[in-house]
């Protein structure tokens, strides 16, 4: 006998527990069956799938990128007919900041002035002149193209060519992005820096302080009053480029009314609850997003 579940989520981070619980409850409210894959059952889950005693309608992988224990399951799911949320090829595409930079430029998305330099192991001589450096302004930002989860490897206060030369030594096989530092506008004393979570193509914009990482839900009234509609339209363009079902992006609004994508795509969103963590996502927003996830998944599975 085959047991069928509408959605399986693989997760390995202890702080995902509350998010997974809310998502499961929302799925159950729409008569969708949920299956959790964590350390205690990843092996038996793979065995069940191979034997045909277990089947999933859709699968979301939030584990194999950080824990190789889940990699055999992820590989099996890639070969199956299961609906993959955040398809691996889309995750790979979205994670490369250099590739995304060029694709977003072509799409008409505002991005910081950027110079992309080759990996150290590919070209040791740096292809950067003092004139190029002057265009960046000071301070500027240095970030590896593929190694920036949680801000890893990012330098936000670079000043000199030496900073660039030294930074390249840390991730020698990675391209590097040198970017101008974007100064946000202020709206009634509040910094115009935003994190927009996007689920199945629907943006959920929040005020987000890039220094404290504290979220505040952006209300519809604020969106209208401060003319912040571009947060939605720009995130939809980013979604078209990255083709991820669930991601977040950072956007800064400048004094000249540009909405600049300063961190293009975060393909595995941190969904800790604000009631438990000061820099978590507001609880009501997590509930709303999980509600939308359940409705969207039910529609996708019924197609």
Model confidence pLDDT, tens digit, residues 40-97:
999 999 999 999 999 999 999 999 988 999 999 999 999 999 999 999 999 999 988 8
Model confidence pLDDT, tens digit, residues 188-236:
999 999 999 999 999 999 999 999 999 999 999 999 999 999 999 999 9
Q: Give me the CATH number covering residue 261.
A: 3.30.470.20
Same domain, 78 and 195: no
Nearest partner of 238 among 72, 97, 48, judged by Cα: 97
Q: Does residue 208 fall inside a structural domain?
A: yes
For 264, residues 6+ apart whose C-beta sits below 8 A from its C-beta are 94, 97, 100, 101, 104, 111, 238, 242, 249
Same domain, 35 and 128: no
Question: Can you say how many angstroms the Cα of residue 223 is from the centroid of all Cα atoms in its chain?
Answer: 22
Number of domains in the chain: 3
Q: Does residue 272 fall inside a structural domain?
A: no
Q: Which domain holds residue 146?
A: 113-180
- Indicate the burial class of 35 (C-beta count within 10 angstroms; 0-12, 13-18, 19 or more): buried
What predicted TM-score, i.e. pTM, was given to this entire model? 0.89
Q: Does residue 300 fall inside a structural domain?
A: no
Same domain, 97 and 216: yes
Question: Is residue 123 classed as helix, strand or coil in its secondary structure?
Answer: coil
**Contact call for residues 264 and 143 (beta carbons, < 8 A):** no
For 202, residues 6+ apart whose C-beta sits below 8 A from its C-beta are 292, 296
Q: Does residue 78 fall inside a structural domain?
A: yes
Same domain, 53 and 99: no
Same domain, 92 and 187: yes
Same domain, 118 and 207: no
Q: Give me the CATH number covering residue 55.
A: 3.40.50
| Cα gap 187→185, rounded to integer Å | 7
């Amino acid at each position: 006998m085959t047991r069928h579940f509408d959605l399986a989520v693989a997760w390995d981070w202890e702080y995902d527990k509350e998010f997974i619980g809310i998502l499961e409850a929302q799925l159950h409210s729409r008569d969708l069956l949920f299956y959790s894959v964590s350390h205690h059952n990843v092996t038996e889950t793979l065995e069940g799938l191979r034997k045909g005693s277990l089947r999933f309608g859709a699968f979301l992988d939030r584990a194999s990128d950080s824990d190789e224990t889940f990699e055999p399951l992820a590989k099996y799911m890639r070969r199956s007919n299961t609906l993959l949320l955040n398809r691996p090829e889309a995750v790979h595409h979205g994670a490369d900041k250099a590739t995304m930079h060029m694709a977003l430029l072509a799409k008409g998305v505002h991005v910081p002035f950027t110079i992309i330099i080759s990996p150290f192991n590919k070209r040791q001589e740096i292809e950067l002149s003092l004139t190029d450096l002057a265009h960046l302004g000071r301070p500027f930002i240095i970030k590896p193209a593929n190694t920036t989860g949680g801000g890893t490897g990012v330098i936000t206060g670079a000043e000199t060519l030496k900073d660039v030369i030294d930074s390249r030594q840390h991730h020698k096989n990675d391209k590097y992005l040198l970017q101008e530092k974007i100064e946000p506008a202020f709206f009634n004393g509040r910094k115009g820096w935003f994190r927009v979570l996007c689920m199945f193509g629907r943006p959920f914009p929040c005020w987000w302080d890039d220094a404290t990482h504290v979220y505040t839900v952006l209300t519809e009234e604020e969106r209208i009053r401060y003319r912040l509609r571009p947060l939605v339209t720009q995130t939809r363009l980013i979604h078209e480029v990255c083709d991820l079902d669930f991601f977040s992006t950072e956007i800064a609004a400048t004094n000249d009314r540009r909405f600049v994508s300063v961190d293009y795509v975060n393909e595995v969103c941190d969904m800790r609850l604000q009631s438990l963590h000061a820099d978590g996502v507001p609880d009501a927003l997590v509930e709303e997003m999980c509600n939308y996830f359940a409705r969207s998944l039910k529609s996708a599975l019924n197609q």
